[in-house]
Amino acid sequence: MDTASVKLSIPDEVDPVSIMGGGDAVLRAIEERTGARVVVRGRQISLSGSAEEVELLTRLFTFLIKEARAGDTPSVTEVERAMQTLRESVMDLSGFRDDILLTYRGKAIRPKTVGQKRYIDAIRRNTVTFCLGPAGTGKTYLAMAMAVAALKRHEVGRIVLTRPVVEAGESLGFLPGTLQEKIDPYVRPLFDALFDMTDMERGGELIEQGIIEIAPLAYMRGRTLNDAFVVLDEAQNTTPEQMKMFLTRLGFNSKFIITGDMTQRDLMGRRGGLSDIERILSDVDDIAFIHLDRSDVVRHALVGRIVEAYDAYEQGEDGRHRAARTREGRK
């Protein structure tokens, strides 16, 4: 096996703690995930081991130094994700410095995985983008960030955020309050994402002025949405008829983003609007389909493990059902 050694210097203006983490937590996480030897003395990082691992770590520490120089301090989770990205993709980590939006708190929103980067690039290149994947992959949050960024750059005149209202166990008519109060719980996640990017007062003003509209999918019927950035969330709960209705609302100078998670459908026993959509629209230009998976989960690390456990269980159940049907067929 070819071996290699590389020495990197930490610039004087960079605090080594911002690279190694408090108590060297980041450094320990890196060491646990590589067979190469990492030695840090003062401002010098020495790497030795297989050529492949040393090359990977050189790219990783170069990225971390750039992040630290820019004032960012990557967490252990972010560094672990960066290592996974380097192992699975030839993508340059510098692509993850692609800031979408600076929130009112000064936090940069940017893609954190290869899948998320493909998602953002697809939105920029296409008029309609579908993004399908499990909880925690940033489908809705990144769509919201792209929408708010487009509004700030005056690329569109308004944002329209919509969700299907699916009754689960209780009829809306029997819930207390006005119609808006009944609908609010269904669109609350969209409010939460919006107020994370703009302060609540400014976000409230934009909603009052109609520049940002948050409404149930049923309110889209009969409209044409021009000069708008439109996000349809929880699209797995649409019917085929609703999906067709929504897509035909597309107007001039508009972008549509449709997000959904096929594992969290509330329309039991009925075909969903996402069931056949890729087969229907796969040959239509200017429409992209992005599939995210558990490797793109960017919430608490436990969320990724929960998704993985559910996937394994469901695959096991499918295998047991197939085996049972096979035994029945032999009788």
Domain co-membership, 248 together with 288: yes
CATH number for the domain including 189? 3.40.50.300
Lowest mean pLDDT among 87-96, 139-148, 264-273, 279-288: 87-96
Q: Taking 80 as the threshold, does the pLDDT of residue 321 lie above it?
A: no
Q: Is residue 322 a part of any domain in this protein?
A: no
Is the per-residue pLDDT at 166 higher than 70? no
92-96, 114-118, 227-231: segment of lowest average pLDDT:
92-96
* 74 inside domain: yes
- Token pair for residue 217? 């999918």
What is the phi-psi region of residue 250: left when phi exceeds 0, alpha when psi lies from -120 to 50, beta otherwise? beta
Least confident of 41-55, 234-248, 262-276: 262-276
Task: Answer yes or no: do 74 and 188 share one domain.
Answer: no
User: Read out DSSP for 190-242?
Assistant: HHHHHHHHS-HHHHHHHHHTTSEEEEEGGGGTT--B-SEEEEE-SGGGS-HHH
Tell me the C-alpha distance between 41 and 46, whole Å: 8
Please give the share of the chain, as a percent, with pLDDT higher than 70. Answer: 83
**Does 92 lie in the same domain as 37?**
yes
Say whether both 43 and 187 belong to one domain: no
**Domain CATH for 30:** 3.30.1370.10
Q: How many domains does one find in the chain?
A: 2
Contact between residue 216 and residue 180 where contact means Cβ atoms under 8 Å apart: no
Mean pLDDT of 54-65: 89
Which structural domain, as residue segments, surrounds residue 75?
3-97
pLDDT > 60? residue 178: no
Separation of alpha carbons 110 and 101, rounded Å:
7
Q: Are residues 92 and 184 in the same domain?
A: no
Q: Are residues 73 and 183 in the same domain?
A: no
pLDDT digits (tens, 9 = 90+) for 213-242: 988 888 898 999 999 999 999 999 999 999
Does 171 score more than 60 pLDDT? no
Does 294 lie in the same domain as 181? yes
Residues 89 and 119 both lie in one domain: no
Residue 16 DSSP SS3 = coil
Whether residue 40 sits in one domain with residue 77: yes
Could you tell me if 157 and 316 are in contact, meaning their C-beta atoms sit under 8 angstroms apart?
no
Same domain, 29 and 67: yes
